[in-house]
Amino acid sequence: MSYWDTSALGKLYVPEADSATFEQKAAGEAVIVTTRLALYEMCRVAFRKEVEGSIPPKSAESILSELQQDLAAGEIRIIDIDSRIEAEFNAIMATCYRNTPPLLIRTFDAIHLASARISGESEVVATDSRLREGAKLLGLTVFPP
């Protein structure tokens, strides 16, 4: 199993040029692991894609419904944000900002990385460059390589 950031998870629900790569990766996973935060981010992604014209008007809800169906089917495992995530988040922020040079990681990226570490996953599936840099700094592998 791998931990999936919203930047990669979204490619499974909203077709993009590289979606096939992520669909193949997902097919090889028993379960996709992500944080509850990704559910809120996916809502933003779906509505943003609708406004941009990447998906048909009024289709954001169907994308979000498909995501909920996958959750209900157990295809996606959610890591809830709790005190363990908070402690790991604080440690990640210290590591990133005290690195030389500092890695100016964003709040949500650090929550994703904290969730990945708490879930025990050693691979992060993401396209977001800053999150990928943070994952590498923390000793996690990233997909795509």
pTM for this model (two decimals): 0.94
3-state secondary structure of 4: strand
Q: Is the pLDDT of residue 1 over 90?
A: no
pLDDT of residue 60: 97
Reported as type and span, the H/E element at residue 82 is: none
State the CATH number of the domain containing residue 16.
3.40.50.1010
54 and 94 in contact (C-beta within 8 Å)? Answer: no
Model confidence pLDDT, tens digit, residues 7-30: 999 999 999 999 999 999 999 999
Q: How far apart are the C-alpha atoms of 115 and 108, rounded to whole Å?
A: 10
Residue linked to tokens 């700094």: 137
Find out whether the peptide bond into 102 is cis, omega within 30 degrees of 0: no
Q: What does pLDDT average to over the chain?
A: 97
Model confidence pLDDT, tens digit, residues 31-61: 999 999 999 999 999 999 999 999 999 999 9
Q: Comparing C-alpha atoms, which of 140, 137, 125, 126 is closest to residue 96? A: 137
In the chain, the number of structural domains is 1
Please give the structure tokens belonging to residue 108.
Answer: 């949500």
Give the domain range for residue 56: 2-143
123 and 26 in contact (C-beta within 8 Å)? Answer: no
The number of CA neighbours under 13 Å toward the Cβ of 51 is: 6
List all residues 6 or more positions away from 51 whose beta carbon is below 8 Å from its beta carbon: none
